[in-house]
Chains A and B, each alone.
Chain A
């Protein structure tokens, strides 16, 4: 992976990686703290396909989403030796019945046997959250359990 940092005089700084598929993906960090997600165009690598302005909170949330996927991949790899144990991530969105309530309110462990091993919030990973942990919209729950336990957890966390 090719990591590159380019100063943009008068504007800020650009940090990017060149991914295996050949594209450049990165962020432009403006001097005033705003950031932009940037993806290079297919065909003309010098040019930008999209440049999406993000607020500080949005950038942190996006970082959390990407970091969450990485955490899940890591946990899955660790649980490979234990057949039947899986890891899944659940997003608490604004419409979620548990947004603003505590983790204990979900009664996830009691009802399903699955447990929340971490919460990814605004780019930070909070390991082993306690039952009094208050959930917020855009929190990402990393849940470990059996296949049956995880599908039961999905029923609770994503009621349709």
Chain B
């Protein structure tokens, strides 16, 4: 067997395995991301698979996975939705940042990971998984609920916050010294400002250039533009992921809608590889030492997300049950926490324990998030009737 044959067999086994895991996840109503991570961890631990032929392919495929994940994050909301969201719910966004970024930062500082580690962990605990949450809301038939727009506008603000956070994070990760860090932060913000202005002013030009009535050429143009922008951004020290994200924001209107449709299956394939490789490269032996911290962090930041949703829904005059639903819906963390941890680990400027902590943390909350959203209502109603029963009794 030559190496190509071996690579094909390995890749086939990996994709098949991930497919089966994803199927199992959807059978029990869970998002597939935690199972992909577990699959990677498990294989890495058992040492069955060195992913030898995969070193090249796995690396580039997982990089493409990140590019596609962030391109789709940029495509997810239209410019109008971003602007309206910012205007209407900026206060909820601020509460969300303060409550949910702080626990991650504090834990990182306590673990002695320094300000860079704190910035990374703040992002990991802050960002909810818009993918998991949108899926859960749809599955539970809650799109008609009055608290749903509140949840979605918080996700919109998080999306916008990422546009500022990611370039800053990448710059800080790249800069060794504080001064060098500040300098590259300055450069990153300048580049970001230029691209954002260009995106808002010439977004329609970008959209028109990429748009095509033919699905096939449209897909190729999209992928080409995404990889080109990602590569150029990477060359300018802004990180491939950030470049793809900004391209996603620049594409607008009907082109964006079509882009989401044609990219979705491709994103699913490459993102699965990304999560798998992230799990594979995380040494499972580093998990037990951080397990306690991860549990504590999960409990605290689940509570802070519930508080955020509860408060934001309360401001819109939504009843107690609706507030409980809004709060618990926001708990899920997922793909973007892993992307942030992945950027940090790839830069090599953070503690090795961070990958383990982020993985464990996401495993915990990607699973409990949807479950909490599901059981929130019955549990809340049962609790309320228990509290009310003695009052109402004759």
Chain A interface (Cβ < 8 Å from any Cβ of B): 6-11, 14, 16, 24, 26, 28, 31-32, 36, 38-40, 44-48, 50-51
Contacts and interface: CB of A to CB of B under 8 A. Distances in A.
B319 A46 contact: yes
A50 B141 contact: yes
Given A31-B257, A32-B257, A47-B322, A10 B76 contact: yes
Contacts of B76: 10
Interface string B119-143: 0000000000010001000100111
Nearest to B154: A9
Given A31-B257, A46-B321, A11 B146 contact: no
B84 interface: yes
8 contacts: A7-B81, A8-B152, A9-B78, A10-B81, A32-B261, A36-B144, A47-B321, A48-B143
Given A14-B143, A32-B257, A38-B144, A9 B77 contact: yes
A32 B146 CA distance: 22
B155 interface: yes
A10 B130 contact: yes
The majority secondary structure among interface residues of chain B is: helix
Contacts of A7: 81, 84, 149
Nearest to B88: A7
A10 B319 contact: no
Contact of A48 (B85, B144, B153): B144
Interface of B: 76-78, 81, 84-85, 130, 134, 138, 141-149, 152-153, 155-156, 257, 260-261, 318-319, 321-322, 325, 377
Contact of A14 (B81, B85, B144, B155): B144
Name the 10 nearest CB pairs between A and B, nearest first: A38-B144, A46-B322, A48-B144, A51-B141, A9-B81, A46-B146, A9-B152, A9-B156, A10-B76, A28-B143
Given A44-B319, A46-B318, A46-B319, A11 B130 contact: no
B321 A8 contact: no
Contacts of A46: 145-147, 318-319, 321-322, 325
Nearest to A26: B144
A9 B153 contact: yes
Nearest to B157: A9
Nearest to A12: B143
Given A10-B77, A11-B152, A48 B321 contact: no
A45 B153 CA distance: 20
Nearest to B148: A8
Contact of A38 (B143, B261, B319): B143
Contacts of B142: 47-48, 51
A6 B78 CA distance: 15
Contacts of A26: 144
Contacts of A31: 257, 260
A88 to B, nearest CB: 34
Contacts of A8: 143, 148-149, 152
Contacts of B146: 24, 45-47
Contacts of B147: 46
Contacts of B81: 7, 9-10
Nearest to B261: A32
Nearest to A31: B257
Given A10-B152, A47-B145, A48-B144, 4 more contacts: A6-B149, A7-B84, A32-B261, A47-B377
Nearest to A36: B143
Nearest to B80: A7
Contacts of B134: 10-11
A145 B377 CA distance: 53
B255 to A, nearest CB: 13
B136 to A, nearest CB: 13
A45 B257 CA distance: 32
